[in-house]
Amino acid sequence: MGASITIQNAVKRYGKDTIINGLSLDIQPGEFFTLLGPSGCGKTTLLRMIIGFNSIEGGTFRINDRIINNIPTNKRNIGMVFQNYAVFPHMSVFDNVAFGLKNRKMSKEEIDRKVDEILKIVKIDHLKDRMPAKLSGGQQQRVALARAIVIQPEVLLMDEPLSNLDAKLRVEMRNAIKRIQKQIGITTVYVTHDQEEALAVSDRIAVMNGGVIQQIDTPARVYQRPANRFVSNFIGLSNFLPAQVHKGGETSLRFHRNGGYRISIKNLSPDVQDGQIVLTAIRPEEFVIHASGEEGLKATVQSSVFLGTATHYFLKLEDGAEIEAIQSADVWEQIPNGTMVCLRVKARKINVFTEDGSQALIVREENL
């Protein structure tokens, strides 16, 4: 079984630049934990601190109860898979995977047995005598993964392991990685800037921006209930519209800049004030398009794209805001450009933030 990882108040500086300033997180034994964020936000930096390739300027890193700050990399019992495979080109698949074991003074029989077992798990046992140059990208990545896990580390770190693969192979390999991770139960910290990949593989996701963790939650939660505007826009796509809160009887939101269309809302945090201006975040699939003249947000179709399962509409609202709405394929006709329509909003799934977007104003649902 994997180990827990606990990071408290981590600080990383490169010269005078502080990249990470007081970052904390807890990773459970056996968890598939993903660091997700835009380029340059500090994902690789944090991973390199965990494995020991980077100095640590502050804070405490623990694997189980052991503080690892000053323990050398080769004593931390961590396996790592990099973006660019890093397999030895002059060694066969078998020798690549056996390499880490040879340094551990095992008998030849034991090494053979272990390598065969791991090659079966990653499903390349039929390729064990091949040289890396004669393998596909996905097969090379399986070799790299096998080499990292054959030493039975307590923790597996993966830094964008699939970014060199084409789109179809990426999906195949991410499913393979998830299956293998669950099969051997190893605590995994996975780095990606691909939000779909993060949603697909993770038990929990830490969304990072500028060296700061914005939210740590399950894939469903970071998508459905983002902690702030950044997360809402980084995971999936959101349209942001200001609205005014009306309390008394039923609480409602009034899109005051767009004709005063009102929706009632049940799950707004109780400390929101009557009259407060808030920022709503509405996913494209939460709009329902109706013919013009009915109740809703008045909008003009600017353009549309038919994508098989749905049609994506790009529309302009009365206040000039440009938004995207998705209509599922059970509607046959494509609405022509220039048409005036009315957009109703499915209130249950929208998100509401403070006007500056920094804080969510929705009560946490326990069943999500």
Ligand X SMILES: Nc1ncnc2c1ncn2[C@@H]1O[C@H](COP(=O)(O)OP(=O)(O)OP(=O)(O)O)[C@@H](O)[C@H]1O
Q: Are 254 and 261 in contact (CB under 8 A)?
A: yes
Calculate the alpha carbon distances from 92 to 118, 131, 133, 315 in Å: 15, 4, 10, 56
Name residues contacting ligand X, limited to 267-326 (CB under 6 A). Answer: none
Q: Are 228 and 214 in contact (CB under 8 A)?
A: yes
Calculate the alpha carbon distances from 68 to 26, 38, 52 in Å: 15, 28, 9
Q: Are 357 and 229 in contact (CB under 8 A)?
A: yes
Binding mask 216-255 toward ligand X (x if CB under 6 A, else -) reads ----------------------------------------
Starting at the earlier edge strand, list the strands of the sheet with 58-63: 17-27, 5-14, 58-63, 66-67
Eight-class DSSP state of 362: B
Judged by CB, which is closer to ligand X: 23, or 268? 23
What's the closest the beta carbon of residue 3 comes to ligand X, in angstroms? Answer: 23
Parallel/antiparallel/unpaired status of strands 287-291 and 277-282:
unpaired
What's the closest the beta carbon of residue 25 comes to ligand X, in angstroms? Answer: 15
**19 binding partner (options Mg ion, ligand X, none; Cβ < 5 to 8 Å by kind):** ligand X
Stretch that binds Mg ion, among 6-14, 38-46, 108-116, 312-320 (CB under 5 A): 38-46
Stretch that binds Mg ion, among 3-11, 41-49, 199-207, 314-322 (CB under 5 A): 41-49
Question: How crowded is residue 241: how many other Cβ atoms within 10 Å of its Cβ?
Answer: 22
Q: Is 74 in the site for ligand X (CB under 6 A)?
A: no
Q: Is 193 in the site for ligand X (CB under 6 A)?
A: yes
Q: Are 31 and 206 in contact (CB under 8 A)?
A: no
Stretch that binds Mg ion, among 42-50, 270-278, 346-354, 360-368 (CB under 5 A): 42-50
Per-residue buried b or exposed e for 123-150, using 16+ beta carbons within 10 Å of the residue's own CB: ebbebbeebbeebeebbbbbbbbbbbbb
Judged by CB, which is closer to ligand X: 192, or 280? 192
Judged by CB, which is closer to Mg ion: 142, or 193? 193
What's the closest the beta carbon of residue 162 comes to Mg ion, in angstroms? Answer: 13
* DSSP helix/strand/coil, 325: strand
Name residues contacting ligand X, limited to 13-52 (CB under 6 A). Answer: 14, 19, 37, 39-45
Judged by CB, which is closer to Mg ion: 161, or 236? 161
Judged by CB, which is closer to Mg ion: 40, or 185? 40
Calculate the alpha carbon distances from 237 to 152, 230, 325 in Å: 39, 10, 10
What's the closest the beta carbon of residue 45 comes to ligand X, in angstroms? Answer: 3
SS3 content of the chain, % helix, strand, coil (to 5): 25, 35, 40
Stretch that binds Mg ion, among 43-51, 61-69, 166-174, 242-250 (CB under 5 A): 43-51
Judged by CB, which is closer to Mg ion: 37, or 59? 37
Options 23, 31, 44, 311; binder of Mg ion; rule CB under 5 A: 44
- The whole-angstrom separation of Cα 353 and Cα 359 is 5
DSSP string computed for 177-200:
HHHHHHHHT-EEEEEES-HHHHHH
Q: Residue count at the site for ligand X (CB under 6 A)? A: 11
**14 binding partner (options Mg ion, ligand X, none; Cβ < 5 to 8 Å by kind):** ligand X
What's the closest the beta carbon of residue 233 comes to ligand X, in angstroms? Answer: 17
Binding mask 96-135 toward ligand X (x if CB under 6 A, else -) reads ----------------------------------------
What's the closest the beta carbon of residue 122 comes to Mg ion, in angstroms? Answer: 24
Single out the residue of 213, 111, 100 nearest to residue 153, CA to CA: 100
**Chain residues that interact with ligand X, rule: CB under 6 A:** 14, 19, 37, 39-45, 193
**Chain residues that interact with Mg ion, rule: CB under 5 A:** 44
